[in-house]
């Protein structure tokens, strides 16, 4: 990498967004104090003289801080102020020409929207790529419509392959609607599938330019970026510490005991369906958690700092609930609160599919849980189908592969329920052989698994999401086994009540004795 080129938090200026009367250089100065590592001056409409004057003022600030100043598009302005380089778009001066004028020591960055553009830019010697546009943005910085983190990831993967082929290092940021709410999700989701390579950082415009305090905004972004790049609690999927069965079982017992014994009482927020809302709240309490069912968008901001985990269940989703889900997930991402998505009936209507697609695109999840029909719909498989909220079909030929691959694609733990439950974090995949057929005869048994996931994944801040998820599945299924054995259980109605009782009665000893967890991959 060129000396000084640190792309971690890349500020692209837009003076039209700046608060009236506040000089651009002052905004840049404050943003650098908050942690911006590189600045691109972008003045699409300025006259050359004004552009140069502003550039000289901003350069005083960047030089003092020792960070690079790049000029958007205008190689002449970059030369006039002896900037550290330029950033060029697809319709600007060709890369070779910019390089010829500026020489090898200057930085040249290029905006790319497709794999082909990325390949060309790398071959022609770009020092870094700005891949976009990630999300919809008011800045009109990039022309191609938003491609979401997964679209950015495929351009990034192709860019890295090109770099390997021609033996040249590749660096990139993504741009477009990136802010402190989605920074973690964007950085995790854009990691390459094969090698888990992260982007170098994120480029932001409005998140800093329009902020009341650019310093505070930049500081928050930096901490979110560091969290995503360094933290171990998000499923890193890097094969470094595959989880064996005996370690998994011990860890499950510990996680379970922490909640059951009252050492920790997670506040589990649900935005869930009207069918199961009461059963889920009772299941949460019986397992040792504390439920709050809160779906109005208005209260999400105030609630977010107290919540331990968030369960999003689309069973009876409505427009109003969708707004609440977006608000809650946005806040959860800011607080790094684990999110469980239960995509009830997602294969049944295009509406449900669209709702889930947007939630996953904008915020992602820490755990996705569904029955085989729901997982098939998300995975894009026709091996299983849905009828209403139920899965229909003969089962997947290779269920472990389905959960593993969906997990890698969505960058989260995937739980697929059924007679045997399959769980994967993309590296380790487990089957849980507990449970009872009576669970299939009451409504909401899957939704209660979602509740149990929310109850046990909250405390894995420095551990393993997969262990938290396994704990939820095992606990629910052992409670079902115990309930089904009771002489007072005569069918689904009595089972439903006994099921909650046995969640309450479940002990760590029973769990250790009866859990049947198998590592399948």
Site string for ligand TZE, 157-186 (x = CB under 6 A): ------------------------------
Query: Which of 111, 273, 439, 451 is in the footprint of ligand TZE by CB under 6 A?
Result: 273
Among 273, 439, 455, 459, binds ligand ATP (CB under 6 A): 439
CB of residue 344 to ligand TZE, shortest distance in Å: 5
Task: Give the closest residue to 310 by CA, choosing from 368, 367, 268.
Answer: 268
Q: How far apart are CA 106 and CA 195, in angstroms?
A: 30
The count of residues interacting with ligand ATP (CB under 6 A) is 22
Ramachandran region of residue 133, left (φ > 0), alpha (ψ -120 to 50) or beta? beta
C-alpha span between 382 and 367 (Å, rounded): 22
440 binds ligand TZE (CB under 6 A): no
- The span of 148-156, 302-310, 444-452, 474-482 binding ligand TZE (CB under 6 A) equals 444-452
158, 150 contact by CB (below 8 A):
no
- C-beta closer to ligand ATP: residue 187 or 378: 378
Q: Is 76 in the site for ligand ATP (CB under 6 A)?
A: no
Least distance (Å) between residue 460 CB and ligand TZE: 26
How wide is the angle at C-alpha 118 spanned by C-alphas 113 and 120, nearest 5°?
125
Name the minimum Å distance from CB 140 to ligand TZE. Answer: 41
Distance, CA of 175 to CA of 202 (rounded, Å): 7
Strand-pair partners of 390: 387
| Residue 215 host element (H or E) | helix 214-230
Alpha carbons 113 and 229: distance in angstroms, whole number: 23
Please count the other Cβ atoms lying within 10 Å of the Cβ belonging to residue 127.
24
Verify binding: residue 280, ligand TZE, rule CB under 6 A.
no
Q: Cβ of 380: how many Cβ atoms within 10 Å?
A: 8
Out of 389, 470, 479, 506, the residue judged to bind ligand TZE by CB under 6 A: 389
List the structure tokens of 462. 């420095």
Cβ atoms of 155 and 30 within 8 Å: the answer is: no
Cross-strand pairs, 9: 202
Nearer to ligand ATP, 307 or 432 (CB): 432
Q: What single DSSP character describes residue 309?
A: E
- Among residues 192 and 443, whose Cβ is nearest to ligand TZE? 443
> Exactly one of 176, 291, 444, 472 binds ligand TZE (CB under 6 A); which one?
444
**Among residues 22 and 320, whose Cβ is nearest to ligand TZE?**
320
Q: Integer distance in angstroms from the first to the last C-alpha of the chain?
A: 38
Shortest spacing between CB 266 and ligand ATP, in angstroms: 19
Binds 93: which of ligand TZE, ligand ATP, none (CB < 5-8 Å by kind): none
The residue within the footprint of ligand TZE, chosen from 80, 193, 275, 484 (CB under 6 A), is: 275
Binding to ligand ATP, residues 393-422 (CB under 6 A): 417-419, 421
d(CA 412, CA 442) in angstroms, rounded, equals 28
Residue 449 contacts ligand ATP per CB under 6 A: yes
Q: Whose Cβ is closer to ligand ATP: residue 200's or residue 421's?
A: 421
Residues 418-437 that bind ligand ATP (CB under 6 A): 418-419, 421, 435-437
Could you tell me the smallest distance in angstroms from the CB atom of residue 477 to ligand ATP? 5
Output phi, psi for 340, to 5 deg. Answer: -110, 130
Decide which of ligand TZE, ligand ATP, none touches 62; Cβ closer than 5 to 8 Å per partner kind: none
Which residue number is nearest to ligand ATP in terms of Cβ? Answer: 446
Q: Are 452 and 256 in contact (CB under 8 A)?
A: no
339 binds ligand TZE (CB under 6 A): no
Could you say whether residue 344 binds ligand TZE (CB under 6 A)? yes
Binding-site size for ligand TZE (CB under 6 A) equals 11
Q: State the Cα torsion 272-278-280-282 to the nearest 10°.
A: 150
Tokens of 396: 């997947």
Active site residues: 447
Residue 414 host element (H or E): strand 413-417
Binding map of ligand TZE across residues 293-322, x = CB under 6 A, - = no contact: ----------------------xx------
Nearer CB in complex with ligand ATP: 417/455: 417
Q: Considering only CA atoms, which of 468, 373, 475, 459 is closest in space to residue 412? A: 468
Residue 275 beta carbon to ligand TZE: minimum distance, rounded to whole angstroms = 4
Look at residue 394 and give its three-state secondary structure.
Answer: coil
CA distance 145 to 261: 51
Task: Determine how many CB atoms are found less than 10 A away from the CB of residue 33.
Answer: 16
* Part of the chain binding ligand TZE (CB under 6 A), chosen from 171-179, 199-207, 270-278, 351-359: 270-278
Residues that bind ligand ATP (CB under 6 A): 371, 389-391, 417-419, 421, 435-437, 439-440, 443-447, 449, 473, 476-477
Residues that bind ligand TZE (CB under 6 A): 273, 275-276, 315-316, 344, 389, 443-444, 446-447
């Amino acid at each position: 990498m060129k000396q000084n080129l640190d792309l971690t938090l890349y500020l692209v200026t837009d003076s039209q967004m700046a608060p009236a009367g506040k000089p651009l250089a002052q905004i840049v100065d404050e943003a650098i104090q908050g942690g911006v590592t590189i600045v691109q001056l972008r003045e699409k409409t300025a006259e050359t003289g004004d552009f140069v004057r502003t550039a000289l003022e901003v350069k005083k600030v960047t030089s003092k801080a020792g960070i690079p100043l790049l000029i958007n598009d205008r190689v002449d302005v970059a030369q006039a102020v002896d900037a550290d380089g330029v950033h060029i778009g697809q319709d600007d001066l060709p890369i070779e020409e910019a390089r010829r004028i500026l020489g090898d020591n200057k930085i040249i960055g290029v905006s790319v929207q497709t794999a082909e553009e990325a390949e060309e830019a790398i071959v022609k010697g770009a020092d870094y790529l700005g891949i976009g546009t990630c999300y919809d943005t008011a800045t009109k910085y990039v022309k191609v419509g938003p491609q979401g983190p997964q679209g950015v990831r495929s351009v990034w993967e192709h860019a890295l392959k090109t770099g390997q082929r021609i033996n040249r290092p590749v660096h990139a940021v993504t741009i477009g609607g990136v802010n402190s709410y989605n920074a973690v999700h964007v950085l995790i989701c854009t990691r390459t599938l094969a090698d888990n390579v992260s982007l170098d950082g994120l480029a932001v415009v409005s998140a800093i330019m329009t902020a009341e305090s650019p310093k505070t905004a930049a500081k928050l972004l930096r901490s979110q970026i560091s969290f995503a790049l360094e933290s171990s609690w998000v499923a890193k999927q890097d094969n470094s510490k595959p989880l064996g069965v005996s370690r998994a079982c011990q860890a499950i017992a510990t996680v379970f005991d922490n909640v059951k014994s009252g050492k920790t009482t997670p506040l589990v927020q649900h935005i869930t369906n009207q069918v199961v809302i009461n059963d889920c709240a009772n299941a949460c309490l019986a397992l040792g958690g504390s439920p709050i069912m809160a779906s109005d968008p208005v209260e999400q901001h105030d609630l977010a700092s107290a919540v331990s985990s968030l369960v999003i269940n689309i069973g009876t989703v409505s427009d109003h609930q969708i707004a609440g889900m977006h608000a809650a997930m946005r806040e959860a991402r800011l607080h790094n609160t684990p999110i469980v998505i239960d995509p009830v009936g997602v294969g049944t209507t295009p509406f449900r599919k669209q709702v889930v697609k947007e939630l996953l695109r904008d915020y992602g999840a820490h755990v996705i849980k569904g029955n085989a029909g729901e997982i098939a719909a998300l995975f894009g498989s026709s091996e299983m189908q849905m009828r209403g909220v139920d899965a229909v079909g003969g089962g997947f030929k290779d269920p472990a592969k389905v959960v593993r691959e969906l997990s890698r694609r969505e960058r989260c733990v995937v739980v697929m329920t059924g007679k045997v439950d399959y769980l994967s974090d993309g590296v380790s995949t487990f089957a849980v052989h507990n449970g009872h057929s009576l669970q299939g005869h009451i409504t909401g048994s899957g939704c209660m698994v979602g509740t149990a996931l929310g109850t046990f994944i909250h405390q894995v801040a420095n551990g393993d999401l997969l262990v938290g998820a396994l704990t939820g599945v095992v606990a629910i299924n052992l409670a079902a086994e115990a309930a089904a054995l009771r002489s007072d259980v005569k069918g689904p109605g009595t089972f439903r009540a006994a099921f909650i009782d046995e969640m309450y009665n479940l002990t760590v000893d029973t769990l250790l004795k009866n859990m049947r967890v198998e590592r399948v991959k």
